[in-house]
Structure 1
């Protein structure tokens, strides 16, 4: 999300088109990101919500009051910053409608790539009186919360999806409606009867951790690291359902920026590689370096990646040994030894 969309979101206030919330009022900011400056006269208290750990930490550094999940209700207004995930945007709209007082102001903004226009038209279909304006290569629209929002909330609220009859995941999480093909390939190569301390880097909603715990039920420890707070909460539930006796711990963590204190004998991961709509391997490369520092001597890293991603050089530079276990038409499973 660029800062352009942040400026788009606040432009209706900055331009004087709508009055800013005043002192004593409470504003809920969903999908909040750092880097914004509140317009003159915007003196209400702001409660930001951001479940992605790197963005959460940026908001903290800006001294913004922020939570990973929504706290409280009866807000006077809401700001919704859209993302590229349609389901996440709709869920945030449903949350804003549910948490605001009747008559409260809701302002939504995003770019074309965020589906802002279809979202506005969808809301207009519920009879909401929506005003909008383009600015900074995006669109902001706003409306007052009606008394009865039950139809819109029921349409936009997202229930967890049941995956493979064993897992629950939700919109906005990686591969929320199916087992990822790359993760499935890596799972087929996980060790059986592993004993020792293991970690799942970028654990998502817990698929690889469940597979490892089931293949190696006598492992000593299994630590899950994940930057998406909602996905980590789903992983807790999925481990509890599928492997209730697994010695699991859960860390809401930015593996590219926050050090890992514990040391492991095995780390598994399917690192993310997208920044926006383009392939960007730097995050995976950073996670590989973090894994190298978190492994004990002789410890092993197992990861899956798209075939075209250049992870081999960083593996060779940070491990004593490394190589490829297998590949198919789309993915490769790589290994490295500390």
Structure 2
């Protein structure tokens, strides 16, 4: 009968490398007071013996949990229907895995109060830091994190007074390019489908600014009647488009502040017997995977959710490790992708 394989311990590694187990511990925890020659011997012994340090013991020695939080102040059902957020989560999780960290997700748990996601995260006290998806609850939530001395990085705009670290796309420039594209096509009445009017987030504020700046450059006065609101879902895009079509002087183009609302707009236009783009052009924002395969393929502003998540996670790990941050704000490029809907 074959006996079970003996578990390799830190003392086995120490014996293999010819050092004390305290030295092995210092190498595992990446402490500086070990010579490169000794560090190399220990690392070779770890590889030879296929040693896997106990995560809990390692974390205790460093006074860390090896967990980072992702605070998403949305209902979980909404979260898992948003392709852009899922792309961000995917890249965050990849960065965490590469460093031996686990990812803890805190959502609003079906509540309309997004602050609940922050409060539950703080109560649990298990994470070394947090990544925060920007919402209207962000200002109060980020102040709560700051008050409890958490490292955090915002995915979006940090609207709190702390304004610490945040990563976002160049929303203003992207919206300006989308609007200028429609203006160059000859459109002068460009309807916009904005996000919810209550508690507008930084991204939609910047997109609206980019739209209005482009209109001003063309000598066009903004008409408030052309701005309607949705909640970033496809049905809300349909409902918002219905309001635009009811105007006596309806728009010849619609710029939706995310792709799902733009797709809802196209669906409504088609159901009303209108052609896209011949009768009404449509532009979205995000360039989610479904945008290129939609009918017609959607002109949109490309944001890389994967890149936003990756850069934000890398910034958070630098904060946790005490490494310098070049800039508290990282602005990633936004690119207009022209397809058949405009």
TM-score band w.r.t. shorter chain: 0.3 to 0.5
* Greater relative CO, 1 or 2 (CA 8 Å, sep 6+): 2
Give the TM-score normalised by structure 2: 0.34
Give the TM-score normalised by structure 1: 0.34
Higher strand share: 1
Higher helix share: 2
